[in-house]
């Protein structure tokens, strides 16, 4: 088994020169022979080595992999990689009874855009309560830090001042996309910015969802039905929307946001959910934002007349915010894309609502009629059969129960502390 190379090393150890000696020229002359002898002697070992390597490669490449090949191969399904990894982790758990270290009990990282606003801040409360890690991005156009003060200092909570019209990169598992002014007063204030927020902002958040493999939920609106010709409105109704009116920046903006969401879903494999939210009320709504419930409550508390636009016979349905948050979370966690109507089917005329406000706050509150605003829909009432059947969701809080919960918050914000509030309310 001694090879010429070993021989050569031994020779050099003896102190003889290996460069100029006659032996060295011998070696050069004999090299072809020695190489072939080396191959002859080592070839069997080499072949055995190759066979062992091939066997191992074959065996391990067929063992169950936590990421299916198709996921690694296809650019198209890249976004769903995290979800598949989570599924694989579950499978691993069920097979072996153990989850690899680091995957056990993984809390979700959730981005809430517009989380400093009315609905967003209630959603953040529920997600934190569930044990998730929450990042809020908000430009504070209509949102307020005060809505989130109680989470400051919590390591599971982060607040970033950011405008969704600009891209951002954050590692998250789910995105609740709420950023957009929701009341007519605010969305009409800068209509171009409103449509930009709806279109460019939604594009940016969908791009982020694609990049990090997050599930994306769009908070759309019942306004996509416009002034509806179908009553109540089911999700299959395509709407009756004025594309050039003063509300179009919002209505058409949200319709385009829905289109983008579905196109990213079909074209890029993003997991998406769409909620069409109907009128919602509750604590932390902006005071004086032109939405009928907050208007009436603030006016009644300040002893001002309740302003009713038109003849007051137009109808709306009013959903308490905790019901909406429950619906959004069920939608996000469920298996259905939607769109889903999330609203309370209890229908009230504006005059009936004014009456409930009078009963709750001030029986002597006066009503003042004003001319109706342009494109104000006559009727709005959700058909929620789809949400009932597929999400197992329906609202639980009736208007007469929800309104008093909102009134105490408004009292506190209008009159300062609750002592003042009581004094003022009583005067
Ligand atoms: N509340 C309702 O009755 C209702 C009904 C239908 C749809 N929605 C939808 O639900 C979502 C939340 O509504 P809301 O009632 O909480 O409204 P809101 O105005 O209280 O909250 C919106 C939040 O988004 C933020 N925001 C606005 N533009 C932004 C931007 N460009 N970048 C970052 N942040 C931005 C605001 O500062 C605010 O915090 C909205 O998308 C709205 O269209 C609400």
**Ligand 1 pocket check for 181: Cβ under 6 Å:** yes
232 upstream amide cis, omega within 30 of 0: yes
Q: How far is the CA of 121 from the centre of ligand 1 (A)?
A: 10
Instruction: Choose which residue among 175, 181, 220, 325 to substitute to test ligand 1 binding: the one with the highest number of ligand atoms within 8 A of its C-beta.
Output: 181
* 388-392 long-range Cβ contacts below 8 angstroms, 24+ apart: 390/334, 390/336, 390/340, 391/327, 391/330, 391/331, 391/334, 391/336, 391/340, 392/330
| Distance of alpha carbon 293 from alpha carbon 285, whole angstroms | 9
Tell which atom from ligand 1 comes closest to the C-alpha of 162.
33
Q: How far is the CA of 179 from the centre of ligand 1 (A)?
A: 5
- Residue 57's pLDDT is 54
**Ligand 1 pocket check for 164: Cβ under 6 Å:** yes
Number of domains in the chain: 1
What pTM value is reported for the model?
0.76
Q: How far is the CA of 32 from the centre of ligand 1 (A)?
A: 82
Among candidate residues 279, 135, 107, the one with its CA nearest the CA of residue 205: 135
**Ligand 1 pocket check for 282: Cβ under 6 Å:** no
| Distance of alpha carbon 188 from alpha carbon 319, whole angstroms | 23
| Distance of alpha carbon 165 from alpha carbon 337, whole angstroms | 24
Nearest residue by C-alpha to atom 19 in ligand 1: 181
CA dihedral 31, 37, 38, 40 (to 10 degrees): 150
Is residue 206 within 8 A of residue 355, CB to CB? The reply is no
Tell which atom from ligand 1 comes closest to the C-alpha of 193.
31
Q: Which residues of 36-56 are buried (b: 16+ CB within 10 A; e: fewer)?
A: eeeeeeeeeeeeeeeeeeeee
**Ligand 1 pocket check for 163: Cβ under 6 Å:** yes
Classify residue 262: in a domain, yes or no. yes
Classify residue 341: in a domain, yes or no. yes
Given 250, 264, 281, 320, which residue is catalytic?
250
Q: How far is the CA of 138 from the centre of ligand 1 (A)?
A: 10
Classify residue 41: in a domain, yes or no. no
Is residue 151 within 8 A of residue 124, CB to CB? The reply is yes
**Ligand 1 pocket check for 198: Cβ under 6 Å:** no
**Ligand 1 pocket check for 279: Cβ under 6 Å:** yes
Task: At 100, give phi and psi (nearest 5°).
Answer: -55, 145
Q: How far is the CA of 392 from the centre of ligand 1 (A)?
A: 25
Q: How far is the CA of 424 from the centre of ligand 1 (A)?
A: 31
Is residue 292 within 8 A of residue 315, CB to CB? The reply is no
**Ligand 1 pocket check for 201: Cβ under 6 Å:** yes
- Residue 313's pLDDT is 87
Q: What secondary structure letter does DSSP report for 390?
A: I
Nearest residue by C-alpha to atom 13 in ligand 1: 182
User: CA-CA distances (angstroms) from residue 327 to 214, 282, 384, 393, 395?
Assistant: 19, 15, 11, 6, 8
User: Which CATH number do you get for residue 334?
Assistant: 3.40.50.720
| Distance of alpha carbon 268 from alpha carbon 18, whole angstroms | 67
| Distance of alpha carbon 163 from alpha carbon 211, whole angstroms | 19
Q: How far is the CA of 197 from the centre of ligand 1 (A)?
A: 10
**Ligand 1 pocket check for 116: Cβ under 6 Å:** yes
264 carries an active-site annotation: no
Classify residue 58: in a domain, yes or no. no
Is the alpha carbon torsion for 253, 373, 138, 135 positive or negative?
A: negative
Classify residue 154: in a domain, yes or no. yes
Classify residue 384: in a domain, yes or no. yes
Tell which atom from ligand 1 comes closest to the C-alpha of 142.
37
Tell which atom from ligand 1 comes closest to the C-alpha of 140.
37
Nearest residue by C-alpha to atom 43 in ligand 1: 182
Classify residue 213: in a domain, yes or no. yes
- Residue 58's pLDDT is 55
Classify residue 289: in a domain, yes or no. no
| pLDDT in single tens digits along all 427 residues of the chain | 333 333 333 333 433 333 333 344 444 444 555 555 655 667 667 677 777 766 655 544 443 333 333 322 333 333 333 433 344 444 444 444 454 544 445 789 999 999 999 999 999 999 999 999 999 999 999 999 999 999 999 999 999 999 999 999 999 999 999 999 998 889 999 999 999 999 999 999 999 999 999 999 999 999 999 988 988 999 999 999 999 999 999 999 999 999 999 999 999 999 999 999 999 999 999 887 888 899 999 999 999 999 988 888 888 889 999 999 999 999 999 999 999 999 999 989 999 999 999 999 989 889 989 887 766 667 788 999 999 999 999 999 999 999 999 998 999 998 885 444 433 333 3
Tell which atom from ligand 1 comes closest to the C-alpha of 181.
19
Q: Tell me which residue range forms the domain holding 260.
A: 109-281+319-345+378-398
3-class secondary structure, 113:
strand
Instruction: Choose which residue among 112, 121, 137, 143 to substitute to test ligand 1 binding: the one with the highest number of ligand atoms within 8 A of its C-beta.
Output: 143
Q: How far is the CA of 66 from the centre of ligand 1 (A)?
A: 39
**Ligand 1 pocket check for 253: Cβ under 6 Å:** no
Is residue 245 within 8 A of residue 374, CB to CB? The reply is yes
Tell which atom from ligand 1 comes closest to the C-alpha of 223.
6
């Amino acid at each position: 088994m001694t090879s010429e190379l070993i021989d050569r090393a031994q020779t050099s150890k003896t102190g003889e020169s290996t460069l100029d000696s006659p032996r060295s020229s011998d070696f050069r002359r004999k090299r072809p022979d020695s190489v072939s002898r080396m191959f002859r002697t080592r070839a069997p070992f080499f072949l055995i080595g190759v066979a062992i390597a091939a066997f191992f490669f074959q065996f391990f490449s067929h063992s169950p992999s936590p990421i299916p090949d198709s996921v690694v191969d296809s650019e198209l399904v890249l976004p769903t990689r995290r979800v598949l990894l989570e599924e694989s982790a579950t499978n691993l758990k069920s097979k072996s009874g153990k989850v690899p270290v680091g995957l056990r009990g993984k809390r979700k990282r959730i981005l809430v855009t517009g989380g400093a606003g009315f609905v967003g801040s209630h959603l953040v409360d529920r997600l934190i309560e569930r044990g998730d890690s929450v990042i809020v991005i908000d430009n504070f156009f209509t949102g307020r830090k005060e809505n989130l003060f109680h989470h400051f200092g919590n390591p599971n909570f982060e607040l970033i001042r950011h405008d969704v019209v600009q891209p951002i990169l954050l590692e998250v598992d789910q995105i609740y996309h709420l950023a957009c002014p929701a009341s007519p007063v605010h969305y009409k204030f800068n209509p171009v910015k409103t449509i930009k927020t709806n279109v460019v902002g939604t594009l940016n958040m969908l791009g982020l969802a694609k990049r990090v493999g997050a599930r994306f939920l769009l908070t759309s609106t019942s306004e996509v039905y416009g002034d509806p010709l179908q009553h109540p409105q089911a999700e299959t109704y395509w709407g009756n929307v004025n594309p050039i009116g003063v509300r179009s920046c919002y209505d058409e903006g949200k319709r385009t946001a829905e289109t983008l969401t579905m196109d990213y879903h079909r074209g890029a494999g993003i997991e998406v959910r769409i909620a069409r939210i109907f009128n919602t009320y509750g604590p932390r709504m902006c005071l004086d934002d032109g939405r009928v419930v907050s208007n009436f409550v603030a006016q009644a508390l300040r002893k001002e007349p309740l302003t009713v636009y038109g003849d007051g016979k137009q109808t709306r349905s009013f959903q308490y915010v905790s019901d909406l948050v429950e619906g959004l979370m069920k939608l996000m966690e469920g298996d259905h894309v939607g769109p889903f109507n999330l609203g309370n089917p209890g229908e009230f005329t504006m005059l009936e609502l004014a009456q409930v406000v009078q009963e709750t706050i001030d029986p002597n509150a006066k009503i003042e009629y004003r001319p109706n605003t342009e494109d104000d829909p006559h009727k709005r009432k959700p058909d929620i059969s789809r949400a009932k059947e597929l999400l197992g969701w329906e609202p639980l809080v009736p208007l007469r129960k929800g309104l008093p919960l909102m009134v105490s918050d408004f009292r506190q914000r209008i009159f300062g502390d609750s002592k003042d509030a009581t004094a003022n309310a009583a005067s």
